[in-house]
Structure 1
Amino acid sequence: MSELDISIEFEGGLEHDFKAPNGLKEKVPAGMKLEELPALLSKKYLDPSKPTRFLAENGHLLPGILVMINDADSEIDGMDQKLSSGDHITFISTLHGG
């Protein structure tokens, strides 16, 4: 199966949870949907023994997480859109201290 190269950025405190202040470069399977990416990232990068502000137990993003794909709100085309090589995904937590 072929893979896609994508870049991922985290904002609003998520960059600390993922220990990725400069973002990540990832290879994901061709045909992967945007809605599948959070679970893959959680499994790969987050410590399961620590509470998360990213993913609920059902595998869905927690409320307050905005997802941008190539600088456009993911709600435009939906989370079921397939990723493409070169996509830039940004996860932004709107629930952070001030």
Structure 2
Amino acid sequence: MTDNKSEDVIPITVEFSGGLEMLFSNKRKHNLSIPRNDDSGAASNIAFLVSYLCQNVMKDPRKNLFVLDETVRPGILVLINDADWELEGEDKYEIQRGDNILFVSTLHGG
């Protein structure tokens, strides 16, 4: 007997560093189970993940430090399984079971 519930979600690890962790309860690593499909029924991708993180994981009201125009702000490096997201299709990359997605702020005050 298969567990339909487990087939409806994708287990992933999301990490934040470079100061971004302060927006996510000062926690660097989050083990999440996200919906397999977005609201339109399409496979969940990085764009969906960013929205999901803002709605369900981010406790800090300063969403603008993480997103700009509904995508990751310039100055935030995104690595998907240790590869730059630009090599993977950026926010269109379809999330796979076990993916590790790392968001790193490269911007530092001074």
- Name the CA shift for 1:51/1:77 in 2 (closer, same or farther; >3 Å): closer
Give the aligned partner of residue 65 of structure 2: 53
Shift of 1:22: 3.6
The alignment's TM-score, normalised by the length of structure 2, stands at 0.77
Q: Which residue of 2 aligns with 1:44?
A: 56
The runs of 4+ residues in structure 1 deviating greater than 3 Å are 47-52
Greater RCO (Cα-Cα under 8 Å, separation 6 or more): 1
Secondary structure of the corresponding residue to residue 51 of structure 2: helix
Q: Which has the higher helix share?
A: 2
Judge which range, 79-88 or 20-29, deviates more. Answer: 20-29
Q: Which runs of 5+ in 2 are unaligned?
A: 1-6, 37-42
The letter of the residue matching 1:66 is: L
Number of matched residues? 97
Gaps of 5+ in 1: none
Q: Which amino acid in structure 2 is aligned with residue 95 of structure 1?
A: L
Q: Deviations over 1:48-70 (max 9, x none)?
A: 743631012x3111111111000
In the superposition, relative to structure 1, how do residues 35 and 19 fare at CA in structure 2: closer, same or farther (>3 Å)?
A: same
Note the aligned Cα RMSD (angstroms): 1.9
Q: 1:16 aligns with which of 12, 22, 25?
A: 22
**TM-score after normalising by structure 1:** 0.86
